[in-house]
Amino acid sequence: MPKKLVNALTPMTVKHAPAGRHADGGGLHLLVKDTGARSWVFRFMLKGKSRDLGLGPAAGPDAITLADARLRASALRLKVKDGIDPLAERQIKAAEAIAAQQAAQIAGKTFKDVAKAHIEANEHSWRNAKHRQQWSNTLATYVYPVIGDVPVAEVGTEHVMTILEPIWRAKPETASRVRGRIETILDAAKARGYRQGENPARWRGHIAQILPARARLTRGHHKAMAYDELPAFMTKLREREAVAALALEFAILTAARTGEVIGAKWGEVDLEKAVWTIPADRMKAGKEHRVPLSPRAVEILEATRHLGKDWLFPGEQSGQLSSMAMTMLLRRMKADATVHGFRSAFRDWSAECTGYAHEVCEMALAHTIGNKAEAAYRRGDLFDKRRRLMADWATYCASRAAAGGNVTPIRQAEAG
């Protein structure tokens, strides 16, 4: 029977032993590699299987001494005797440490952190700068004050409802967009491993059971002026000496959206041909749109061209006109209408007072053709017909305006 090893190694052996495995007894081994690296290994038998557990280095600045290695081996032998697998125990502790570290990282990720990261990662694919700004503005206004500093893993239904309930009826369009953006950010957080479980901002099967659908609310349509009141309004509008007044008149004459007008630059306009070409990245439908300019619309641009700015309608300080300039002008004029509502006035007038075909009127508004078969066969943009339509619209708008129609001089000191 071989002699049982007990404390077979010495400090000198540990320091000078050649490559190989050197037993000290009681399961403790010194492992020396060909490179000279030395480490301690504890070998044990459990359930008929032999296993090795590394204890640490036997040389170098962090070396474990022979005496300490024996103490560690002795403690491990007691665990094995009690049926405890020290290797499995170590793996569990390592997993718990990793989980704790991950939990700490997750706890440090606030909703605002994830939201900002999502915007930065995706804003390049969004249609325009206004869309990017709307994301940031709605979150800053309605969401961050409530959950901006809340760990994203802890955001729940009660948080979402705190945000939505005050605006759900008063601002249904805004509330709907806010809910959708919260849902998107929480989905992104889950995909990155920052949270688990269902999305508390999802509509179907969740928020829909708490809040009424938007279809049951006041839809918040843009207030539109009746088209028969428009000529009188245009007369008053021409009396205003401001860039915002010219911008609003131009928007009405072209039936364009606010963003399309205030974002327009001179490179989009051909005054000689009386054409304004809006690039696809500034259009709601993502498709280039040519706008025929009536003589009055050209006259307005001739009046703003001398300002020498990049924008057709520059702001008072710099850059383009504020998105609120025309709205504020309407408020000062006490007009019960929105800028967007003038598109509705144009559509009502074209349907009730002209004989132009439906598709001509819809294309003037840059609406997408709903019938896919018709859209597939229609390659042109009916530009000549739309030019006649817009000329008739301009004539109608000026039907009660003062004769002569010279553009009122602009005072740069006023923004609206």
- Where residue 104 falls among pLDDT bands split at 50, 70, 90? low
Q: What is the largest CA-CA distance in the chain?
A: 125
Average pLDDT over residues 301-313: 88
Helix (H) or strand (E) run with residue 161 in it: helix 157-164
Instruction: Please tell me which residue, 416 or 204, carries the higher pLDDT value.
Output: 204
- pLDDT score recorded for residue 397: 93
CA distance 51 to 42: 8
CA distance 134 to 114: 17
Q: In sequence order, what are the beta bridge partners of 21?
A: 31
- pLDDT score recorded for residue 106: 54
- pLDDT score recorded for residue 32: 93
Instruction: Set out the domains of the chain in order of their start, with CATH numbers.
Output: 11-103 (3.30.160.390), 111-216 (1.10.150.130), 227-397 (1.10.443.10)
Number of residues that this document lists for the chain: 416
* Residue 329 near residue 248, CB atoms below 8 Å: yes
CB atoms within 10 A of CB 187: 15
pTM for this entry: 0.49
Average pLDDT over residues 203-228: 74
CA distance 387 to 253: 12
- pLDDT score recorded for residue 370: 53
Query: Reduced to 3 states, what is the DSSP secondary structure of residue 270?
Result: strand
Query: Reduced to 3 states, what is the DSSP secondary structure of residue 31?
Result: strand
CA distance 414 to 298: 22
- Where residue 39 falls among pLDDT bands split at 50, 70, 90? very high
Inform me whether the pLDDT recorded for 378 exceeds 60. Answer: no
- pLDDT score recorded for residue 30: 93
Inform me whether the pLDDT recorded for 366 exceeds 90. Answer: no
Inform me whether the pLDDT recorded for 62 exceeds 80. Answer: yes
Pairing of strands 38-46, 49-57: antiparallel
- pLDDT score recorded for residue 217: 43
- pLDDT score recorded for residue 395: 95
- pLDDT score recorded for residue 349: 93
